[in-house]
Amino acid sequence: MGDAEKPLVSLAKHEKIEIAVKDALDRLNLPNLQGKRILLKPNVGRETENPLSINTNPKVVEAVFSYFKEKFDAHYYMGDSPIINTDTQKAFEQSGFTKLINEPDLQFLDLDEKLALELTIPDGKILKKIKMTGYWNDFDYIISIPVLKMHMHTGASLSFKNLKGLIYKRNKIKLHHLQVPEILEPYQATIENIKELDLAIADLAHITKRPGLAVIDASYAQQGMGPSSGEPIKMDTIIASPDYLAADIIALALTQPQWTLKNVPHLYLISEQRKFHPKTRNDIQCIPEEIEPFNHPIEPPPKTISIKYKNVNLVSKKSCSACLSTIFNLLKNNKEFVDDHYTEENPLNLAIGKGIQDSDLYENTFLVGNCTYEHKDKGIFIKGCTPVESTIMRLIKDSLEK
Ligand code: SF4
């Protein structure tokens, strides 16, 4: 690949993240977007009191919006479709987006509000069709604004993974439950830890490849147990590119220098979809050329997911990250209570995921989430998808009073 053909990635760093956004965008050649319909797609997937590095930093979205608004008289939208059981507007408000929601030149959208549109994916390996947001045809240009974060199931969550929020409602969760071993097996020989979910995200890339821009928010990146139980790491960095894959590759080069793309299987699969797709950092032209000053290695996600507490026995089989994160956050937020009421000999037994078997369960196991419904007579069933932390805690407390 000659330098002229290489996709361009612009990096900028500044304590005032709005300055980093402007610097990064200033170095790109943006198309003429006059009169176009532009979606700002941050990652606001969760209602959380501590959104730092879990949801996109609103300052980054504000800066992107101001930058484009100044340049182009266009129709601007901002929206997401969060994880199940999450109120979209509440998630945005809790994460500091109220000013943008009330911005007269920006229309806020709950992407689940309009009836779904089913799209076919002729080149899909595992997904042949998918229900997307009903707003799908209402945008000419999509700006994916993810948080740079590690992910316990997919290695990392970046620009492509953020577009999973364009899938309609519960159809997102279906991607976590695909089981097609005959399609997966040939990949397992060369890609460690690949799952059906990775194939599905890569399939989605066939349809989400449309004019757009990636602006990766690494004001605070999330290390370790992402997408929501990791630790925020201040990086003050923005990575922007009209090529989502190139932006994602550079984000990994900065934070996981030892990795190859196979550590994030969906990105490896996307890079292999076309001969001309970038495959390594060498296939990308960065501005500035030297990216070493931006390097900031962070902890990868753990290889095996285990609970550190001796007084908690968690059985997790084929669970998705939403349920796992709920449990991790619940244990983190209620550690004192759990330590006061459970011991190594008499642990808090929890089970999550679709793969749970009767033989995994003790009589007093809390079966958390709708995926465990068929075992409900074998323990204490707690409904929800995603189950709600406060409800789980209430039922645990109730059971202790009995
Ligand atoms: S019940 Fe839990 S594991 Fe099952 S789909 Fe819902 S959130 Fe995921």
Predicted confidence at residue 48, as pLDDT, reads 84
Q: Residue 306 forms beta bridges with which residues?
A: none
pLDDT number for residue 318: 83
Q: How far is the CA of 369 from the centre of ligand 1 (A)?
A: 6
Instruction: Tell me the three state secondary structure of residue 211.
Output: coil
* Beta carbons of 313 and 348 less than 8 angstroms apart: yes
Compute the distance from residue 388 Cα to the ligand 1 centre, in Å.
11
173: CA distance to ligand 1 center in Å? 7
Give the contacts of 155 (CB within 8 A, at least 6 positions apart): 193, 259, 263, 264, 265, 267, 300, 301
Ligand 1: does its nearest atom lie under 6 Å from the Cβ of 352?
yes
Which residue CA neighbors atom 6 of ligand 1 most closely? 385
pLDDT score for 58: 98
Q: Does residue 370 have its Cβ closer than 6 Å to ligand 1?
A: yes
**Residue 40, ligand 1, Cβ within 6 A:** no
Residue nearest atom 8 of ligand 1, based on CA coordinates = 320
Distance CA 185, CA 253 (A): 28
The hierarchical CATH code for the domain 3-294 is: 3.40.50.11440
What is 131-200 written as a DSSP string?
EE-TTGGG-SEEEEE-EEEEETTTEEE-HHHHGGGGB-TTHHHHGGG---HHHHHHHHTTSTT--HHHHH
Q: Whose CA is nearest to atom 3 of ligand 1?
A: 319
Domain residue spans of the chain = 3-294, 312-401
Q: Atom of ligand 1 at shortest distance to CA of 385?
A: 6
Residue 4 has what pLDDT? 66
Residue 250 Cβ contacting ligand 1 at under 6 Å: no
pLDDT tens for each residue of the chain, 402 residues long:
666 689 999 999 999 999 999 999 999 999 999 999 999 999 998 888 889 999 999 999 999 999 999 999 999 999 999 876 778 999 999 999 999 999 999 999 999 999 999 999 999 999 999 999 999 999 999 999 999 999 999 999 999 999 999 999 989 988 888 889 999 999 999 998 899 999 999 999 999 877 899 999 999 999 998 998 899 999 999 999 999 999 999 999 999 999 999 999 999 999 999 999 999 999 999 999 999 999 999 999 987 666 778 899 999 888 888 888 889 889 988 999 999 999 999 999 999 998 899 988 888 899 999 999 999 999 999 999 889 899 999 999 999 987
